[in-house]
Amino acid sequence: MSKIIITHSDKGQALAQKLTDAGLDASIVQSPQNYEELWNKNEALIFIGSLGICVRKIAPFLNDKKTDPAVINMDANGQFVQAVVSGHLGGANQLSEDISRMLGTLSVVTTVSDTSGLWALDLLPKKYNWTLECGDNLTSLMAAFVNGKKTALLLDIRDKGTLVLETEMPTHVDLFFKADDIKPEEYDVVLAVTPFIYDFGEKVIYYRPKVMQLGVGCQKDLSFESFEKELLVKLEEQHISSKAIAAIGTVDLKANEKALIDLSKKWDIELIPFSNEILSKYDIPNPSQKVNEVTGSFSVSEASAMHLSENQLIVEKVKAKAGEKHFTFAVAIKRENERTGFVEFVGAGPGDPELVSVRGKRMLQSADMILYAGSLVPKELTNYAKNGCVVVSSAGMDLITQIETMKPIYDRGLFVVRLHTGDPCIYGAIQEQMAIMDQLSWKYHITPGISSFQAAAAALESQFTIPEEVQTIILTRGEGRTPMPAREQLHKLAKSQSTMCIYLSASIADKVQAQLSEHYPPETPVAVCYKLTWKDEKIYRCTLETLAKTVEDNNLKMTTLIVVGKAIDNRSGFSKLYDKKFTHAFRAGK
């Protein structure tokens, strides 16, 4: 965003310089005369001085909030930063907040949606990479929404934006996952995040997420104009918005087909060609011997759509004609965006419910079932569940029972959160769950969490690395009932004398101590951390030679992490990062 700071006093000039020194990418001009030129050439005008001067200077040029630049006004003392024009679409509200943070001062934003804590409906497309579609009544529908009129929200796909909307709904909004469940006559506004075309009358604002994958096959030298026109008609017949198309797939023989290249450019989507070896792997519903003779694959459009989406087709091959040339297309929705059964593995963090990630919290708030590791995860984390969510502990379940518990919810097309302690990728036992889910063709995803080794570093007020002395952190466990690979035995890892974080090993502390003592000095600092960040957290500092006794004296078994290494409580050693003589990408050494 090109920005210009306009000042009218020496004090304003000094404040402008302070902003640019703080990192604001903007030019500075004092008492200019060419306001029309500044208005037309910049995306944001930042006035420093009285609001009256700002208003009088920009008044002759105001035209449309969709095209006017953002305008900010600040007093010369830098106490208030106010968005004046183009708060939403022009970005003045955000710029006002950014500048206020630089100065540690007050941002003044007066748009109703912001002051009411409501969604800024016109900003959602930019925020979540959606395309807005609405008739001429967008302004009146937005006004009805911010005035608390009854609103229906349709979310028939899943993406980052729908997760936020689902978990931050205003009280006057009702949520729907199927269009057929909405009775438009009962609502003043319908907000629809969907790739599909529905008839909600004049009261709908559509948000088109790019989740559809388009496969295309065609004859040579297709006319672009005729092709696009016919494709738009055919997509509409299938009730699919062209604005929801994310990519075009075809066979590599058509990689230079001008009509496909032109469509890719005009719709601003990627054209991706595939080899016949890739396309021929798919079991498509409408194979063609003629296509196989030309391309080496029995399908182009259907196989391309399936490959792009990693999913089955929602529109099988459609045959069409553009002028005298023929083409086919097929459509599939990206598998991860389909609102069907889904499992999210969520890292609960070390224990404190406030240490789950923002995304993890949203997942818990939107889940239809939470299956949590009850022996390791505090039940308080499940308090984020919405009304009607099924909450079940897996503490007494074996692997198959866990899958069988999730399956009825998954098969209904609902959303399951599998809640694991810490980060699920560290001793989370999710690999065997994912293996079965792969066999069942289930969809799943992993949301990472804060691990207990990170919580230990925070609780110990320690950096687990020391410049030029300790640069490695080892996450491991001792050998108990579960064997360890010979190359990963503790006494072998101990040779490096790195910072070692040892999980699941309190019950064999004597063996751990013996193996580590082969290489670590007996006075090596040790922290035995019990239930990190839980309400009953306890941390016992000792040395390696007293490790086993410390564990035994305090009767420590489960949920205990043992940290070993000289980095504990260390305050020696300085890194190059902040050395004023050290040059790096963001600072020259002096």
What pLDDT, on a 0 to 100 scale, did the predictor assign at position 544? 97
Percent of the chain with pLDDT over 90: 86
In this structure, what are the phi and psi dihedrals at residue 33, rounded to the nearest 5 degrees? -115, -15
Query: Can you tell me the mean pLDDT for 405-409?
Result: 95
Residue 431 CB partners (closer than 8 Å, separation 6+) = none
Beta strand residue intervals within 341-434, DSSP E: 342-347, 369-372, 390-393, 415-420
pLDDT tens-digit map of 1-10: 799 999 999 9
Mean pLDDT over all residues of the chain?
Answer: 94
CATH numbers and ranges of domains, the chain: 3-110 (3.40.50.11220), 124-209 (3.40.1390.40), 212-337 (3.30.420.180), 342-450 (3.40.1010.10), 454-564 (3.30.950.10)
What pLDDT, on a 0 to 100 scale, did the predictor assign at position 451? 96
Nearest alpha carbon to residue 124 among 67, 164, 68: 164
pLDDT tens-digit map of 464-492: 999 989 999 999 999 988 899 999 999 99
Please say whether the dihedral angle defined by the alpha carbons of residues 401, 405, 410 and 411, taken in this order, is positive or negative.
positive
pLDDT tens-digit map of 78-90: 899 999 998 887 8
Separation CA 534–CA 530 (nearest Å): 9
Which burial class, exposed, middle or buried, applies to 167 when counting CB atoms under 10 A from its CB (0-12, 13-18, 19+)? middle
pTM: 0.77
What pLDDT, on a 0 to 100 scale, did the predictor assign at position 228? 97
> Above 80 in pLDDT, residue 116?
no
**pLDDT band (50, 70, 90) for residue 575:** confident
**pLDDT band (50, 70, 90) for residue 369:** very high
pLDDT tens-digit map of 287-332: 999 999 999 999 999 999 999 999 999 999 999 999 999 999 999 9
> Above 70 in pLDDT, residue 115?
no
Q: Taking a C-beta distance cutoff of 8 angstroms, is the pair 584, 577 a contact?
A: yes
**pLDDT band (50, 70, 90) for residue 576:** confident
Q: Taking a C-beta distance cutoff of 8 angstroms, is the pair 448, 348 a contact?
A: no
What pLDDT, on a 0 to 100 scale, did the predictor assign at position 428? 85
Percent of the chain with pLDDT over 70: 99
pLDDT tens-digit map of 119-133: 989 889 999 999 999
**pLDDT band (50, 70, 90) for residue 586:** confident
- Residue type (1 letter), 527: A
pLDDT tens-digit map of 533-549: 999 999 999 999 999 99
Query: Can you tell me the mean pLDDT for 442-455?
Result: 96
What is the 8-class DSSP label of residue 426?
T
What pLDDT, on a 0 to 100 scale, did the predictor assign at position 583? 87
> Above 80 in pLDDT, residue 166?
yes
Query: Can you tell me the mean pLDDT for 502-522?
Result: 96
Query: Can you tell me the mean pLDDT for 427-434?
Result: 93
Residue with more model confidence, 135 or 274: 274
**pLDDT band (50, 70, 90) for residue 375:** confident
What pLDDT, on a 0 to 100 scale, did the predictor assign at position 222? 94
pLDDT tens-digit map of 190-247: 999 999 999 999 999 999 999 999 999 999 999 999 999 999 999 999 999 999 999 9
Separation CA 23–CA 15 (nearest Å): 13
Beta strand residue intervals within 194-256, DSSP E: 204-209, 212-218, 245-251
Residue 369 token pair: 């079932």
